[in-house]
Amino acid sequence: MHLRLVSKVLSLLSAIVSLSMLWPLVWSLWDGTSDVRAFLLSIAFGLALALLLYAFGKHADYDDLGIKDGFVAVSLAWVIASLVGAMPYWLHGTVPTFTDAFFEAMSGFTTTGASVLSDIEANPRGILFWRDLTHWLGGMGIIVLSLAILPFIGVGGMQLYKAEVPGPIPEKMTPRIQQTALYLWGVYVLLSAAEAVLLMLGGMNLFESLTHTFGTMATGGFSPLNKSIGQYNSAYFDWVITIFMFLAGVNFVLHYRFLLGRWGAFWRDEEFRFYTVLTVFCTLTVTLVLRLHGTYDSFADALRFGAFQVVSIITTTGYVTADYELWPTYTQFILLLLMFVGACAGSTGGGMKNLRLMVLARHVRAELSSILHPKAIVHVRVGGKPVGREIIASVTSFFILYIVIFTAGTLFMTILDLDLITAMSSVAATLGNIGPGLGGVGPMRNYAAIPDSGKWVLSLFMMMGRLELYTVVLLLLPETWKR
């Protein structure tokens, strides 16, 4: 563990986060609202923290960055980002306690979208913009952003990249890590611009189209409106956002290849096919049940609301256009299951990821056939290529760890005297970075009523979910902190 080196990396992060507050500050100054002071103080706090961390670690050498340092630096980076990011909410008095402010910031950066704000629209635009900007920064990853814009991180960047990018096998699109990070962000910005333009063409104003774009592309879920996207009651907005949520849940490497002119990039990818088929199947079955049940009068409406909710949950975005708590139980259970599935590896979405589930299912299949044919050598394949034993082992233990954390978390939430549905779904919705759950944290309600200790634990789960368990769980091992 090179503590000074970690401190140096963290100083960069703190600086990036505080400087990105200049953007919401522009809205505040434009509107002349009361949050100007909060943003100025937050920026000063963030920069002072950056200086302090830098002073401690300025002599450290980036080349020394080892595996442990990578994990520690990335985990702490998200803590620091949330700490600095919580300042505006706290200083402005958006929320009553620092716990709430930290929860809201962590929920933003991890693209969860779980909120403690009840009357969202009562807040100034600067604060609302900041909520969604944290989504957007966290979506593609703050570490990946710093790798892209700060060339001097050097070889150690690979360790940081691996610790932050979701998926069992982080892919590099180009030989150099900095270029990869730059292209990932490039694709991200491009898709975001496309969505913002489409929303504006539909008549949404600049502020709302930007915030909703940030919330969509990062698969976040914060909206500046009290009733989320449902407030517009517009089929056009619903479909545009459905499509872009779906795209944000796709591995960004595929977007990159597609944009390079390899038109077959999407369909050739087995995980993408799995993700598409799963999404389409769930949408159709939910639509059918909704229509048969008479929840909606026309098939078109059933499809529109069914698709939006299904895509929103599977990509772990968490935007809502309907109160699915009023839906038939079957559809609610489908949504609950999708909370665990999540999006594709290498996307901005959370959850366990389709790729892991594919590997698991095929591993089970391989086990079965090796029982029938004891002498057979059976390989698990994804995309035609055999998956290595270590990867299968890592995916299996990821699955177990996920279930264990989910169970332990639910147990903890029941100790806080929440009802079973609320306890379970709040853990599932934060660990999967979705946001809205069921029951007390359902789509029309929020997390304000959860006790403080519960909010801290859920904040930890959001971070675990975003960094895919291992990175954060390793922090809890004493070995990590030894030399």
Partner 1 sequence: MKIVVVGGGEVGYNVANTLSEEEHDVTVVEEDEERADKVDDELDVITVRGSGARPQVLEEAGIFPGCDVDILVACTDHDEVNILACWIAKRAGVKRVISRARALEFTDSPTWAKDLGIDVMNSPERSVAREILELLFVSSAVHTAELLDGRSGIYALRVSPNSALVGLALKDLRTLYPNFIAIIVYIERNGEGYIPYGEMVIQANDLCYIVTSREQAWKLEEIYQMKKSRPLKRVLIIGGGKLGFQVAWKLESQFRNLDIRLIDHNREKCERLASELKRTLVLCGDGADESLLRQEGIEGADGLVCATESDEANLLFAVIGKALGARKTIAVVRRKIYMKLDNYMSVDAIVNPNSALASVILRHARYKSGAGVLSIIEKIDAEMLELVIPAKSPAVGRTIMSLGMPKGMLIALIVRKGDVFVPVGATVVQAEDKVILFATSDLMPEAMDYLGVQ
Residues engaged in binding partner 1 (CB under 8 A): 155, 157-158, 172, 174-177, 179, 388
SS3 content of the chain, % helix, strand, coil (to 5): 70, 0, 30
Q: What is the CB neighbour count within 10 angstroms for residue 303?
A: 19
Asked if residues 53 and 13 have their Cβ atoms less than 8 Å apart, the reply is no
| Strand extents, DSSP E, 327-420 | 381-382, 385-386
Token readout for 464 is: 């675990």
Closer Cβ to partner 1, 132 or 468, answer by number? 468
State how far the Cα of 97 lies from the Cα of 405, in Å rounded to an integer.
Answer: 27
The helices-and-strands tally (H runs, E runs) of the chain is 22, 2
CB nearer to partner 1: pick between 172 and 362:
172
**Interacting residues of 387 by C-beta distance below 8 A, sequence separation 6+:** 359, 362, 379, 380, 381
CB of 71 to partner 1, least distance (A): 14
Nearest approach, Cβ of residue 155 and partner 1 (Å): 5
Query: CB of residue 398 vs partner 1: minimum separation in angstroms?
Result: 19
In whole angstroms, the minimum distance from the beta carbon of 428 to partner 1 comes to 33
The single-letter DSSP state of residue 388 is P
Closest distance of CB 9 from partner 1, Å: 17
Shortest distance (Å) from residue 179 CB to partner 1: 8
Dihedral sign from CA coordinates of 419, 421, 427, 430: negative
Closest approach, Cβ 159 to partner 1, in A, equals: 9
Q: In this structure, are residues 100 and 181 in contact, taking their beta carbons and an 8 Å threshold?
A: no
d(CA 378, CA 375): 9
Q: Which residues contact 307 (CB under 8 A, 6 or more apart)?
A: 242, 283, 287
The Cα–Cα gap between 143 and 141 comes to: 5
In whole angstroms, the minimum distance from the beta carbon of 176 to partner 1 comes to 6
The nearer residue to partner 1, 183 or 327, going by C-beta atoms, is 183
CA torsion 120-125-130-135 (nearest 10°) is 60
Nearer to partner 1, 155 or 189 (CB): 155
Least separation in angstroms between residue 170's CB and partner 1 is 10
DSSP helix/strand/coil, 128: helix
Place of tokens 């459905």: 242
Shortest distance, CB of residue 303 to partner 1, whole angstroms?
41
Provide Rg for the chain, Cα atoms: 22
CB 98 within 8 A of CB 90: yes
- Cβ distance 221 to 429 under 8 Å? no
Judge contact between 190 and 217, C-beta under 8 A.
Answer: no
Which two structure tokens, joined as six digits, stand for 343? 């999006």
Closest CB to partner 1 among 98 and 470?
470
Identity of the residue, 169 or 416, whose beta carbon is nearer to partner 1 in the bound complex: 169
Alpha carbon 438 to its chain centroid, in Å, reads 19
